Amino acid sequence: MSKRSSFLLIVSAVSFLVVVILWNNVTTVIKPGEKGVVFRPFAGGLDKEKQLAQGFHVIAPWNDVFRYDVKVQEATSIMEVLSKNGLTIRLEISYWYRADDTRIGFLHDEIGLNYHEKIVTPALRSATREIIGKYLPEELYSSKREIIEDEMLNRARRTMEGKYINLDDVLIRDVSLPKSLQDAIEKKLKQEQASLEYEFRLEQATKEAERQRIEAEGKAAANNIVGRSLTDAILREKGIIATLKLAESPNSKVVVVGSGKDGLPLILGNN
């Protein structure tokens, strides 16, 4: 082997060894659901406008890459808050949030990777205390629960506005009250349900009575019309027709002409 060949072999081996050692420093992979931002200490610092998309990237070994999870994430928070009447309520809330994947550079520059602890959690806690303080404990068990959740969501969103974070939804998962108060609320709700059921039955009975009244008035009006239309002449004619049909039947009978009421024939059977 010539000296030149030996030299090239040594250079290749050293180059390969350097690449192996520095591989993790000159390459990066952005996984699905992630975005990356690059900090270039010798070329303007943090690149806030451009994000690294999913896939394989080659970077200078002196640059740093910061990865952000931009998928929707769920978190829960348990806290004690005061209601409108000053009672302590223990709440468990769930919320869904995600980083704005078009503004990752600004999020990293102004807040950082721990944006959930610095922004999201304090905003949700503050909104929860403020909104729950406007309501009575029993209202958390009523139809107002959804209204309360919407108010908490909107209040937290206003706090987080301009922070490059999206808050998708807030739900109250559990409400814990002193047992005596919880029993009293449940009793009140049962009474309200019974009252609503009684009102419904009363309304149905009223409607049924009205229906019967209208039906009776209709029948009375119909009978009145029929009664006015039945003159003596019409009744006599119908009686004659009925008598003739009866006389034509095969049953044995005795017909006395002119002996019935109003001069109608009187029909006597075998009995």
The CATH number assigned to the domain holding 129 equals 3.30.479.30
Give yes or no: residues 77 and 173 share one domain: yes
Does residue 258 sit within a domain? yes
Specify whether 206 is located in the same domain as 149. no
Confidence (pLDDT) at 248: 67
Residue 163: Cβ-neighbour burial (10 angstroms; 0-12, 13-18, 19+): buried
Are 115 and 165 part of one and the same domain?
Answer: yes
Closest CA to 145 of 109, 174, 179: 174
Q: How far apart are CA 51 and CA 66, in angstroms?
A: 10
CA geometry: angle at 167 spanning 90 and 92, to 5°?
15
Secondary structure class of 215 (helix, strand, coil): helix
Claim to verify: residue 166 and residue 97 sit in the same structural domain: yes
Instruction: Tell me the longest C-alpha to C-alpha distance in the chain.
Output: 156
Crossing angle, helix 121-132 and helix 144-160, to 10 degrees? 140
Summarize the confidence of residues 171-182 as an average pLDDT: 77
β-strand pairing of 253-256 with 266-269: antiparallel
Q: Is residue 226 part of a domain?
A: no
**Is residue 212 a part of any domain in this protein?**
yes
Q: What pLDDT does 43 receive?
A: 85
Q: Is residue 11 part of a domain?
A: no
Q: What is the mean pLDDT of residues 132-151?
A: 87
Span 58-91, pLDDT tens digits: 888 888 899 999 999 999 999 999 888 888 888 9
Structure tokens at 196: 């609503």
214-236 residue pLDDT tens: 887 777 777 677 666 666 666 56
Which residues, at least 6 apart from 203, have a Cβ–Cβ distance to it below 8 Å? none
Q: Is residue 6 assigned to a domain?
A: no
Are residues 173 and 84 both part of a single domain?
yes
Residues 86 and 158 in one domain: yes
Residue with token string 């017909």: 255
pTM of the model: 0.60
Which H or E element spans position 29? strand 27-30
Domain residue limits at 215: 187-219
Residue 126, both tokens: 């503050």
Q: Are residues 116 and 168 in the same domain?
A: yes
Q: Which residues contact 33 (CB under 8 A, 6 or more apart)?
A: 69, 70, 71
Domain boundary among 69, 98, 129: 69
Provide the number of structural domains found in the chain. Answer: 4
Domain boundary among 148, 177, 206: 177
pLDDT for 119 beyond 90: yes
Range among 15-19, 128-132, 243-247 with highest mean pLDDT value: 128-132
Helix (H) or strand (E) holding 27: strand 27-30
Q: For residue 12, is it within any domain?
A: no
Same domain for 43 and 137, yes or no, is no
Quote the pLDDT of residue 189.
Answer: 65
